[in-house]
Structure 1
Amino acid sequence: MATQQYGYGDEYAYSYDDDRRHRGDDGAPRRGLNRIPAWLRAPVEGRTWRELCYQLLSLPISIVFFVWSVTMLSLGAGLLITFIGVPVLAAALAGARGFGALERARARGLLGLAVGTPEPVRPRKGNGPLAWMGATLKSGVSWRHLLYGVLHFPWATFAFSVTLALWTTGWTLFTYPLWQWVLPMYAGQGGLQLYGDAHHSVYLDNPFEIAVTSLAGLLVVLATPWIVRGLTTVDRLMVAGLLGPSRLASRVVQLESDRGVVVDTAAADLRRIERDLHDGAQARLVSLAMELGLAKEKLTDDPEAAARMVDEAHGEVKTALQELRDLARGIHPAVLTDRGLDAALSSVAARCTVPVTVEVDLAERPAPAIEGIAYFTVSELLQNISKHSRATRATVDVWRAGDRLMLQVQDNGVGGAAADAGSGLAGLAERLDAVDGILLVDSPPSGPTRVTAELPWRRA
C-alpha cells in the first residue's frame, strides 16, 4: 500500500450510509408515506395494487394463451405427416410471440419489469413464405414463447386463486365491524357463522369476537402484499427467462454496441491528437523554421539581430517540446508503463489544482489496457474536480476486490454532478461499459461528490 499527500488540510471523510439513512430508495428525502414502516404501508402502496391487478389479469390471459399453444401444437404435430403441419406449427409459434409481446408489455406496465424484445425472425435464405416458416421453426426464442404459454397457465391459476382468496378474506374480515349489522338485519343471523350443524351454531356476534375477527383480518391484509410480491417474483423470472432475448443474443448486441463505442472513442482521440498537433506543436515548428530562416539571412548583415532571433527560436523550441511531452502524456504516459498506477496517479494528482490524497493498494499490476483505462478515468475525474467542483480537497483510492479493479474519487465540492447524456461523465461511463466496467455517481446538489468506477481485473 502506498499513500501520497499533495496540498494541505485534513483528510476528508464522508459517510454515504449516513446520507442514505435520510433518503428514500430513489435518493429523494423521505416524506409523507415513506416515513411509515414498509410493512404497514404496503397494503395501500401503488405497487401492491399494480401487482394485484397483474395477478387478476394473469388467469384469463393465460387461459387464452394456453388454449392457443396446446391446440395449435397438437394440431400441427398431428398434421406433420402432411405438409399442412408445418405452416400450422409456424402459425402457433408466431401467435405465441404475439402473446409474448403482450405479456412483456403487461409486465413492464404493472411490474416495472423492462424485458428487451427478442430479435425478430429473419430468414437466412430467401424472403418467401417457406423461408419464413423455416426460420420460425428454427427459432429458439419462438419455442420458448410457446413453452411459456404451456407452463404459465398452471402457475397463473395457483397465483390467481391465492391472491383472490387472501385479498377478499383479509379485507372482508378487517372491515367486519363496518358491515356486521347487515347480517342480523337482512340475513336473520347474529353474525358470521363460525360453526354450525343440526344441533347448534356459533356466530361472531359479540364485541370481543367482532374485534378479534377484525384483528385477524388486519393481519391477513398486512401479509397479503408480501405474499403477492413473492408470487409476482416467479412471474418476473418466467417473463425474463422465457420471453426475453437469449443471453447469447444480448451479449452479441452488447458487444456490437461496445465495439461502436470503442471505434468512436478511438476516432475522437485521433481527431484530438491531430488538432493538438496542428494547432500546437506544428504551428510552433513552422514559426520556428521561418524565424531561423530570417536569422540565417541576417547572420552576415546584422549578427546581433540574428542572435536575438536565434534566442527567441530557442524559447519556441522549448515550448514546442513541452507541448509534445504533454501530448505524449495524453496518449500514454511513460511513467504508467514504467512504474504503474501508483506513480502515474501521483503525477496526475500533483498537477491538479486541488490538493489530492492518492492511495493505491494493489499487490500486482493489472493488464496494460485496464491500467490505461484506470489512469485516464482518474485523470478525467480530477480534471472535472479542477474545473467544476469548487472543492478544497479530494481523494483517490484504488484497490482490488475479487475480480474487479475499484477506483474511487471523492471531493468536498458543491456536488450536482450527473452522468446525463452529453456530459463528460456520460462519455466516461460509455468507455467503461465498453470493457464491462461500471461508473457510479453519488453527487447530491449540496455535495460532496463520490464517483466509483469498476473495471474487470485482468492480469498483465
Structure 2
Amino acid sequence: MTERPSPSPATTYRDDAFDGRPEPLPPVRFAYDAHTWKEIAHLLLNLPVALVGFVYVTTVLFTGFWLAVTVVGFPLLAVGLMGTRRLGRLERRRARALLGVRIDEPSPLPLRSRNAGFVQKLWMRVKDPVGWRTTLYNFIRLPWGILTFTVTLTSLFVLWPVLPYLARGLTNADRAMVRGLLSPSDELERRIAELESDRGVVVDTAAADLRRIERDLHDGAQARLVNLAMGLGLAKEKLLEDPEYAQAMVAEAHGEVKLALQELRDLARGIHPAVLTDRGLDAALSSVASRCTVPVKVTADLDSRPAAAIEGIAYFTVSELLQNISKHSGARSASVEVWRSGDRLLIQVWDDGRGGARLDGGTGMRGLAERLDAVDGLFVIDSPEGGPTTVTAELPWRDRSAQDARRG
C-alpha cells in the first residue's frame, strides 16, 4: 500500500517565476542603453500594432452585432472574441520582451467537458470577459498609438536629449494599460466560469442517472412484475380446473417475486444505499467491498461524518473503482483507505492488477474525474503498465452537523 498523499495547495503554472505582486516601475535611465532602445522600439510599434487591433475589433463588433439577428451572428462574434484572446496573448509577449512586464496568461475557458453542448460552449465564448477586456484594450489603443508614434519619431530628430525621459513616461503608461486590461482578472472571474461549466456537468450527470434508473426499472423489476401478474392470473384461472398446475405456477411466481425484490434492492442500493444513510461511510464501503470479486481491505479513519452529498460521492466513487477492479484489473488483492486531512476527505483505492488505467481510456474514469471536479474535488490516477494502480481522490470536507443546522 502506498503512503497517504497529503493534500497540496493548488498550483498556478506560469511562463516564468513571478510571485504575482505588482512590479515596481523601472527607474529613469539617462543613457541610451538597451532598455531605452527597447522602449523606443515598443513606442514605434504601437501605431501599426494598434491599427491592426483596432481594425480587427471594430470589424468583429460591427459584423457580430449587425448579424446578431441571424443564425450566424453569434457564432461569428464568438470566433471574433477567440481572435481577440490571441491578440491579447501577442501583446503580453510584446510587453514582456520590450517592457519587461511579466503577466500571467488568463485561464482558458472550460470548454472541454464532454457534457457541454454546442450552445453552451458558444454562449461561454460570447460572454468571455477576457475577450471583451482585450477588445476594449485594442479599441482604445489607436489614438494612443498615434500619439506615442508621433512623439517618439519626432523626438528622435528634435528632442534627442530628453527622449529617454519621454520614452520612460510613455512606456509606463503602456505598462499600466497592459496590467489593467490584459492581466488575468481576479480568482472570482475564473471560478465563475468553472462553476458554470460544472453546473452543466452536474445537470447532465443527474439526467443520465435518471435515465439509467428508468431503464433498469423498465427492463428489470417492471418486466418481472408484469410477468408475475400474468402468471398469477393464469394460476387463478387454473385453480379449480388443474390445482397441481396452478400450484406450480404459484411456485414459479414466488421465485419471480424474490428476483424482483432483489433487483429492486440492487436498484435502491445504486440510488443511495440504506447502509450509507444509517451507518455511514465505513460500513457502506465494507458492504460494497464484500461484493467485489477481489479481496479488498477497507480502512476508514473518520472521527465524524461528512455532509450527505460528499458522503454519497465518496461511496459511488469507490463503488465504481471497485467495479473496474473486478472487471478489468486482473488483480489478486485491493485496498480502500478513507481519511480526513484538514478540510479535505481523501480516498485511496489500490490494486495489484495489470495497470494501464488512464483518464482517456474510457468514459468511466473521465466521468468520475468530472464529478469530483464539479464539487472542487481532485482525481489522480497512478497506473503504470504492469501495475500496481493507485487512484487518489480528494473531496472538500463539509460537516454533516452544519448541513443539518442549515436545514433546521
Provide the secondary structure at the position in 2 that maps to 1:417: coil
1:293 maps to which residue?
233
SS at structure 1 position matched to 2:393: strand
2:42 is aligned to 63
Q: Is the 8 A contact 2:134 2:181 kept in 1?
A: no
Gaps of 5+ in 2: 6-33, 52-83, 97-101, 111-128, 145-174, 401-408
Choose from 169, 173, 193 the match for 1:253: 193
Task: Give the whole-Å Cα distance in 2 for the aligned partners of 1:246 and 1:454.
Answer: 25
Q: What letter matches 2:277 in structure 1? A: T
Contact 1:115 1:240 survives alignment (8 Å)? no
Runs of 4+ in 1 over 6 A off after TM superposition: 105-108, 139-146, 238-241
2:359 partner SS: coil
5 Å matches for 1:115-134? Answer: 115-116=106-107
Q: CA deviation at 1:251?
A: 1.3
After TM superposition, the structure 1 stretch with the greater mean CA deviation from structure 2, 246-255 or 351-360, is 246-255
State the match for 1:102 in structure 2: 90
Q: Which runs of structure 2 are paired with 1:8-27 in the superposition (5 Å)?
A: 13-14=1-2
1:361 maps to 301
CA RMSD of aligned residues (A): 4.0
- Superimposed CA distance per residue, residues 329-368 of structure 1 (whole angstroms, 9 cap, x where no aligned partner): 0000000001000000000000000000000001110000
| Deviations, residues 392-429 of structure 1 (Å, cap 9, x unaligned) | 00010000111110000000000000001743100110
The aligned amino acid for 1:284 is R
- In structure 1, the gaps of 5 or more residues are 1-12, 18-54, 73-95, 120-135, 151-234
- Please say if residues 356 and 394 of structure 1, whose CA atoms lie closer than 8 Å, have aligned partners that are also in contact: yes
Whole-Å separation in 2 of the counterparts to 1:61 and 1:405: 55
> Distance in 1 between the 2:380 and 2:336 partners?
15
> How much has 1:250 moved relative to structure 2?
1.6
CA distance in structure 2 between the aligned counterparts of 1:240 and 1:455, rounded to whole angstroms: 35
Structure-1 residue corresponding to 2:66: none
The answer to whether 1:414 aligns with 2:354 is yes
Tell me what 1:305 maps to.
245
Q: TM-score, normalised by structure 2?
A: 0.60
Aligned twin of 1:393: 333
The 5 A counterparts of 1:33-432 are: 59=38, 63-64=42-43, 100-103=88-91, 115-116=106-107, 242-420=182-360, 422-432=362-372
1:257 counterpart letter in structure 2: S
CA distance, structure 2, for counterparts of residue 65 and residue 333 of structure 1: 69
Identity of aligned residues (%): 64
> What is the alpha-carbon distance in structure 2 between the residues aligned to residue 445 and residue 416 of structure 1?
5
Matches within 5 A, 1:445-460: 445-460=385-400
Amino acid of the structure 2 residue aligned with 1:393: S
TM value normalised by structure 1? 0.54
> By how many angstroms is 1:62 displaced?
7.8
* Aligned equivalents of 2:353, 2:329: Cα separation in 1: 5
SS in 2 for 1:102: helix
| Closer, same or farther: CA 15–244 of 1 in aligned 2, 3 Å | same
Cα distance between partner residues in 2 of 1:15 and 1:59: 52
Aligned 8 A contact 2:92 2:182 in 1: no
The structure that has the greater radius of gyration is 1
